[in-house]
Structure 1
Amino acid sequence: MRQEDLPVPATGLLLTHFLTVADVARSRAFYTDVLGGEVVLAENPCIVKLANSWLIMNPGGGPTPDKPGVTLRPPDDPDTATSFLNIRVADIDACYRLWSGKGAEFLTPPIDRKAELRCYLRDPDGYLIEVGQATGLLRGVLADPPAGNG
């Protein structure tokens, strides 16, 4: 582990994303072998540097003194999401082919959504991951409103 690879800001703040996972080794392999991340710390917690961000992964568990009353667990319903990772890429078709070839299972191929090309996949715990490439947005074309919002 190199200290410069740890998500520790010199000033201000740095955003990371924590995932509660059922099997740390399985999730670590997905984020490194399939998505191309780099293991910074293998366990306790697992830290994977992915492009210019970090994912922190640990198994679930009960309340702790700093989060009383909160229990962490992986998603139990893959068809309901309250948040998801959003990965922006320069070439979504190349990304789709590369990650599919490494075993990623996408819900659909990339779809033109006017402002962007977009598709989704799931990690081994069922977390939803959006992969998008800005297209129309670069010309001022905005996305359609979310489904059910007119």
Structure 2
Amino acid sequence: MTEATLDYFEPRGGAVLASLLIVRDVDRSREFYERVLGAICVREREPCILHFRNSYIVINNEGGPTDDKPTVQARAPQDSGTLSCAMNIRVMDVHAVYDEWRSRGGEFLTEPKDHGMEIRCYLRDPDGYLIEVGQTTGGLERIGRAPR
């Protein structure tokens, strides 16, 4: 296990945040996140864990209730036109990331759009999850920075 993945399995500082995605096909999703976003697979299955820059994407199959969530069904999005959650990835140069991920097969909804405080664009993964890729344009100085 590399130093970079130790924080997932043994969180330094007491916690690490990861995004869980329920998918229809783990192999297809893993391949997408590795090929398009450049994530690194840390664990192949049950669940699949991908290291992405300074965070993690956890991918697991659909399934029924478990003993620790006895009334919850795990399901991938049924309708990619309805947003219930999304990954939000902040980058230094949204145009460079857009070009790089497009060249790897990422299909964006639009090119990056300038919205004043940020420039952003969106793509979908194979199950329809929305991924926002954004770059802050200096607006944080006007509203103050979040506490560390």
Q: TM-score, normalised by structure 1?
A: 0.89
| 2:53 match | 51
Report the Cα distance in structure 2 between the residues aligned to 1:83 and 1:137, rounded to whole angstroms.
24
**Do the aligned partners of residues 89 and 65 (structure 1) sit closer, same or farther apart at CA in structure 2, a change above 3 Å counting?**
same
Runs of 4+ in 1 over 6 A off after TM superposition: none
Report the Cα distance in structure 2 between the residues aligned to 1:138 and 1:103, rounded to whole angstroms.
32
SS at 1:31 equivalent: helix
Deviation readout 1:66-115 (Å, 9 max, x if unpaired):
00110001000001011100000111111000100110000000000111
1:121-136 matched pairs, under 5 angstroms? 121-136=123-138
Report the Cα distance in structure 2 between the residues aligned to 1:29 and 1:140, rounded to whole angstroms.
40
| Equivalent in 81, 85, 101 of residue 79 of structure 1 | 81
Structure 1: 5+ residue stretches without partners = 142-150
| 1:89 match | 91
Q: Which amino acid aligns with 1:28?
A: R
| Equivalent in 20, 38, 55 of residue 18 of structure 1 | 20
| 2:146 match | none
Q: Which amino acid aligns with 1:20?
A: I
More helix by share: 2
Q: CA deviation at 1:11?
A: 3.2
Q: CA deviation at 1:137?
A: 1.4
Q: How many residues align?
A: 141
Q: Taking every aligned residue pair, what percent have the same amino acid on both sides?
A: 51
| 1:99 match | 101
Structure 2: 5+ residue stretches without partners = 144-148
Report the Cα distance in structure 1 between the residues aligned to 2:139 and 2:80, rounded to whole angstroms.
29
SS at 2:108 equivalent: coil
